[in-house]
Homo-oligomer: A and B are copies of this chain.
Amino acid sequence: MAQNNVVWHHASVTREDRQARNRHRGVVVWFTGLSGSGKSTLAHALEKRLFDMGCQTVVLDGDNVRHGLCGDLTFSETDRKENIRRIGEVAKLFAEAGVIAITAFISPFREDRERVRGLVPHGDFIEVYVECPLEVCETRDVKGFYKKARTGEIPSYTGISSPYESPERAECVVNTAQTSLDASIDKLVDMLQASRVIQPEA
C-alpha cells in the first residue's frame, strides 16, 4: 500500500449510495411507552412488514441489547440514562448504514429521547408513542413485574413508582388498547410513506 493512500479512508460508500441501492432512507423509529404497552410486538411486526416490502431493518430491544451491549449496566437512574444513550448511538450507526432501525424501550424520560433525536439529521428520528392506559398494561403484566412493583419488590418501576413522560411531539401515536395490531402497522407504514422514508407502494 502506498504511503499516500493511508489517509484515504473516508466515506467511500456514502449514505446516498446506500439509499439509492435500498430504495429507502436509513432512519431511527423509536417506540416509547409503558412496559406492557406493546412496543416489542409492534416493533417486530413493523419490521416484518417492512422486510416483506424489501427494506433493510433491525429491531433493537431488551432481548438483544440488555445482556449484550448494555450488559454492564444496572437499573439505576444513571445507568438507565446510559442505556438509552448507547441504544441511540447504535441506532444512529444503523441509520447511517442505510438500515431502518426500530427500537423498543420504555425510555420514560423526554430529555433522554430528545438527546437521541439530536444525534441524527432532522427528520431521521421518528418517535412513536405507544399509548396504553396503565391499568391495561397492568392486566397484561406478562413478566409479573407490575405485581412486584406494586408490592415494592421492584423499586422505581415506570408508571408505578417512577414517572413516564409521554412524548409532546411524537411523529406518530398508536393506541394499543383501542387499535388492532394490523391497523397499527398500517398506520405506521402510511406515516413512513408520507414522510418519504419508504416509497409509496405502486
Contact = CB atoms under 8 A, between A and B. Distances in A.
Contacts of A58: 93-94, 96-97
A51 interface: yes
Contact of A9 (B9, B44, B119): B44
Given A1-B180, A90-B90, A38 B69 contact: no
A197 interface: no
B38 A6 contact: yes
Contact of A12 (B48, B65, B99, B180): B48
A142 B71 CA distance: 36
With most chain B CB atoms within 10 A of its CB, the pick from A7, A58, A92, A179 is A58
Given A1-B181, A68-B89, A97 B57 contact: yes
B1 A38 contact: yes
Contact of A64 (B47, B65, B96): B96
A47 B17 CA distance: 12
Contact of A44 (B12, B43, B51, B98): B12
A86 interface: yes
A184 interface: yes
Nearest to A70: B89
A64 B93 contact: yes
A177 to B, nearest CB: 8
B89 A69 contact: yes
Protomer copies: 2
Interface in A53-79: 56-58, 60-61, 63-65, 68-69, 71-72
B90 A93 contact: yes
A149 interface: no
Given A3-B139, A142-B7, A12 B90 contact: no
Contact of A13 (B1, B5, B57, B89): B57
A41 interface: yes
A47 B1 contact: no
A32 interface: no
